[in-house]
Amino acid sequence: MRQEHTLQDIVETVCTQTGVPGMVVGLLTEAGREVVTYGVASVETRCPVRRDTLFQIGSITKVFLTTLVMQLVEQGLVALDEPVATVVPEFQPADPIARDTITLRHLLTHTSGIEGDRFDDYGYGDDALSRYVAGLATARQIHLPGQHWSYCNSGFSLAGRLIEVKTGRAFETAMHERLFKPLGLERSFFFAQDILGYPLACGHRTTENGAVEVVRDFALPRTVHPAGGIWATIDDLLTFVAFHLGLLRVSEPPLSPESIQLMQQAQVAAGNWADAYGLGWAIWAVGDTRLIGHGGSTNGFQAHVILLPDQRVAIASLTNHEEGRTAFSAIETWILAEHFGIRVPSPRTVTVSESELSRLAGTYEYPLARLTVRPAAGGLWLETRQTRGLSRTPRERQFPPQFLRPIGRSVFTAGPVRAVPNRVDFVFDRDSERPRWMRVFGRLAERVER
């Protein structure tokens, strides 16, 4: 008789195959929660991952921030389509069109055009975000506001400063008082000193010789807190998404069901991480099933959450390795298929001529990476060199080449079939024969060499 695999079996198998030291996965349905833990919080201490172990959730923080912003919208303190510079006086970008045009909606949908990966550190004083926003005067305006979709951490730091201005509280304090406390999130934190005394995971990475080591540089600059600074347990994360699914009873809800629904409605077409973006949420479909979600990537941590709003289901994954995405992607795909009968179809590839592939080839750059694209039989080869990241100690690394399979004349897919789209696309200026940008890892990378 065939022995059915359990979620615990799958998590153990996938983590062993991918080299992820520790992981916790939560499955939320109307019937309750199933939580599975695996491995160690640190390869040095060998302390086991527990259900109450704290992990960095990275950019899932952006959905928390958007929830708080929508509360301020409901209270009439801010408006989604009001220029941000009228609210935050220190926001004075060099481009006058950007200054007069960029709105909260632009920030929350990654369409502001601001240089997106500025992780400038202005210390841990309460003026850190204000100084950061003033520093955006030197940030490059990549494109006109609203013109393109490109992932933008900087825009969420700016939104965090707007929260400070309108609440009169430090960002972290406003988040605690207005969201964490009403939802009962007692194990969600921002500052390193606040997580001491609780079980916590260390981030990890694999060295060039194949060893897994602890990442020491895990404390994020305070300026990054609005974009990706939360530490949380799996249960706090599941409680937060339960609120967004209407599964949490709260005496004084921090946000109305109408605003929750608005966050989940498509606002703009997304580039390659999803089909569309709502307010804070990525939105896509697997067959006839609508999904929303968000990921988080910090130094040595990878996290992800997927919601099926119509089925009132969520899958949350926390890992303590920089390649944890490979693990949680496989587990999400298995859960959707085995628990809900949702199987991810293979994308239909198309034939693209040699001349069309050749016009896409070249070198592209954005502040975190340098990318080389070469034509090949039936597709493209992509070589990626990371040039910097969140770490205060720059670490360059070369990733293994990826083969890109065409699913359109300028849209490609990479890697195995997973629940979350993994696409690369090329963006052209009007009447241009060659692309100006390559959109990869969510970012617009500009062409610098043919």
Residue 183: both structure tokens together: 């939802």
Work out the mean pLDDT of the chain and round it to a whole number: 94
18 — phi, psi (to 5°)?
-95, -10
Distances 99 to 114, 129, 149, 226, 278 between C-alpha atoms, Å: 10, 18, 18, 21, 23
**How does pLDDT run across 307-358, given as a tens digit for each residue?**
999 999 999 999 999 999 999 999 999 999 999 999 999 889 999 999 999 9
**How does pLDDT run across 104-118, given as a tens digit for each residue?**
999 999 999 999 999
* Confidence tier at 1 by pLDDT (50, 70, 90): very low
Nearest to 19 by CA among 331, 297, 323: 323
Looking at the DSSP bridge assignments, the partners of residue 311 are none
Nearest to 31 by CA among 220, 197, 245: 245
> Does residue 150 carry a pLDDT above 50?
yes
Specify the higher pLDDT residue, 414 or 167.
Answer: 167
Say what percent of the chain tops pLDDT 70: 98
pTM (two decimals): 0.96
CB atoms within 10 A of CB 265: 12
Q: Pairing relation of β-strands 212-214 and 230-232? A: unpaired
Nearest to 367 by CA among 386, 344, 383: 386
**Residues 300, 446: contact at Cβ < 8 Å?**
no
- Cα–Cα distance for residue pair 8/49, rounded to 1 Å: 13
> Does residue 449 carry a pLDDT above 80?
no
Say what percent of the chain tops pLDDT 90: 88
* Confidence tier at 122 by pLDDT (50, 70, 90): very high
Name the DSSP letter for residue 176: I
**How does pLDDT run across 48-90, given as a tens digit for each residue?**
999 999 999 999 999 999 999 999 999 999 999 999 999 999 9
Distances 40 to 48, 201, 280, 316, 441 between C-alpha atoms, Å: 4, 8, 31, 18, 29
**H-run or E-run covering 294:** strand 289-298
**Residues 382, 438: contact at Cβ < 8 Å?**
no
- Cα–Cα distance for residue pair 13/76, rounded to 1 Å: 50
> Does residue 44 carry a pLDDT above 60?
yes
* Confidence tier at 125 by pLDDT (50, 70, 90): very high
* Over residues 20-30, mean pLDDT: 98
| Four-residue CA torsion sign, 384, 387, 389, 393 | positive
Distances 94 to 83, 157, 203, 300, 430 between C-alpha atoms, Å: 15, 18, 37, 35, 25
pLDDT of 11: 98
pLDDT of 391: 61
Specify the higher pLDDT residue, 124 or 394.
Answer: 124
Nearest to 176 by CA among 127, 108, 220, 231: 231
